[in-house]
Chains A and B, each alone.
Chain A
Amino acid sequence: MGLDFTVIWKNWDYFLWGRTFQGEVGGLLLTVLMALAAGCLALALGIAMALAARLGPRPLRLLLTFLADLVRSIPLIFVIFWIYFLVPALFRTPIPGALSVILALAWFSSGAVMYATLAGIEALPRGLREAGLASGLTEGQVFFAILLPQALRNLVPSYVALFASMIKDTSLAFILNVPELTMTASQVNTRAQIYPAEIFLFTAAVYYVLCAGLSWAARGLAHRLRPGRAAA
């Protein structure tokens, strides 16, 4: 089978940023923006949930783990649907497709961030928290000033791995016709008709470079952040 990548060359700008300069952000640019937004939200939400689970009453911890497990036991596509159709019903305002996907991804991943953060903190020596409390810090100060920074050394690689799977999951935005990279590829495929191999292999390669690059960086970080290597 001869491959003819002219179709990629002719549409490269459309793959990269879609119709961004006509006022509608799209393509790879939208994929990266959605992943970044969802990643920041999931990180903040997941760490807040970990804090609440550690310091809050036991029922709160049970509720948080229940919510995190519930959202993980239904397909991500349905989480996206729920946000897209429920937000307008509850708040009487339509929600853009891209925002629905960002919120769905953030909710979906915040549970994983919470579990990872809790595990990272529980792996620290117990004396750290006690020393902090004995020095007169509050539980919240101990969490943010002592435990979290030290746990981050072990956590950053798993956060990066979660972010890489988030990039892949943004492809599910096709379900709401959000013009991110996968949707863009699909559109070019429909228009060109006879080059599906070139188009989808190229798109796969773009995702591969992003995600494999991130996993590679995560491994490097894990190596550099190993205890004993970090400068004081």
Chain B
Amino acid sequence: MGFAIDWSGALTGQPRIWLLCGLAVTLAITLVAGAIATVLAVILTALRLSPVAPVRGATRALVSLVRNTPLLIQLMVWYFVGFGLLPMGVKAWMTGDHPWAVLPGNVSVCAPEFAASAWGVGLFIGVFLSEELRAGLNAVAPGQREAAASQGLGAWDTLTAILLPQALRNAYQPVVGQYLNLMKLTSITCSIGLAEITYQARHIESFNSHAFEAFAAGTLLYLALGLVLERILTTGRQA
């Protein structure tokens, strides 16, 4: 294997377009999966606090399943099994033509690859986020819940308006870490054919064998995305 570095192999012409398309898809999947993870984390945290024991037990079982199996296998299950379980009409709609939903590189956000990736990564990180929030909740003074109840707030309002904001402040660093993790884990979605950065870097490697340049470009893109995301999330805290 020769080792002359030639950046034009990854940064000009078609390979550059592929990498930029991959970047757009990575950004989109990170945003959508991040939103799903956030919503699921709040729901899972609420279910873990439910007064009904079987609800708590079922939530614990789900958390344990997600934490103790590889994300890759979970993606395979959502993609090969979950998609197949959807009603015919939904499947037909997802695989149909939706010009408004097409990202650069001809990736549709309605397609099964994108949907399974967003849901799979979102659920995976949602579970880990809910664990961080639970740890943060443990550090909230018990009087807070009693005070909220005595003000007449219901269980859901107490959780979302009083307890979770404080839990989030206690667990801010680990929560930011989970969102950064989510961005990195979207790289695994290339296994079910989502054309994000990792997929495109491999594409360039098989197209012109410029492995070093393609992977260096991909690595730098992830590093830059991580720095930007961390900056945004840490500024959000001060606001």
- What residues make up the interface of A, taking CB atoms closer than 8 Å to B? 1, 73-78, 81-82, 85-86, 88-89, 164, 168-169, 171-172, 174-175, 182, 185-186, 189, 196-197, 200-201, 203-204, 207-208, 211-212, 215
Contact = CB atoms under 8 A, between A and B. Distances in A.
Nearest to A70: B223
Interface in B163-185: 180, 184-185
B226 A207 contact: no
Given A1-B85, A197-B81, A200-B80, A78 B187 contact: yes
Contact of B69 (A88, A89, A196, A208): A208
Contact of A174 (B84, B191, B219): B191
Nearest to A81: B215
A207 B198 contact: no
B225 to A, nearest CB: 10
Interface of A (DSSP majority class):
helix
Contacts of A73: 180, 184, 222-223, 226
Contacts of A78: 187, 198, 215, 218-219, 222
Given A74-B222, A75-B184, A81-B215, A189 B72 contact: no
A120 B2 CA distance: 45
A207 B77 CA distance: 14
A157 to B, nearest CB: 15
A73 B215 CA distance: 15
Contact of B211 (A85, A171, A175): A85
Given A89-B1, A189-B80, A207 B187 contact: no
A200 B185 CA distance: 20
A75 B73 contact: no
Contacts of A169: 70
Interface in B197-239: 198, 201-202, 211-212, 215, 218-219, 222-223, 226
Given A201-B77, A212-B64, A75 B185 contact: yes
Interface size band for B: 35 or more
5 contacts: A82-B219, A89-B3, A168-B71, A182-B76, A200-B81
Contact of A168 (B70, B184, B187, B202): B70
Interface in B52-91: 64-65, 67-74, 76-77, 80-81, 84-85
A17 to B, nearest CB: 19
B55 to A, nearest CB: 21
Contacts of B180: 73
Contacts of A82: 215, 219
Contacts of B74: 204
Contacts of B64: 212
Contacts of A189: 76, 80
Contacts of A86: 212
A186 B77 CA distance: 11
Contacts of B76: 182, 185-186, 189, 196, 200
B212 A85 contact: yes
Given A75-B188, A196-B76, 15 more contacts: A73-B184, A73-B223, A75-B184, A75-B185, A75-B222, A77-B198, A78-B198, A78-B218, A81-B201, A89-B1, A168-B69, A185-B73, A201-B77, A204-B65, A204-B74
A77 B188 contact: yes
A211 B69 contact: yes
A164 B68 contact: yes
A200 B81 CA distance: 9
A74 B184 contact: yes
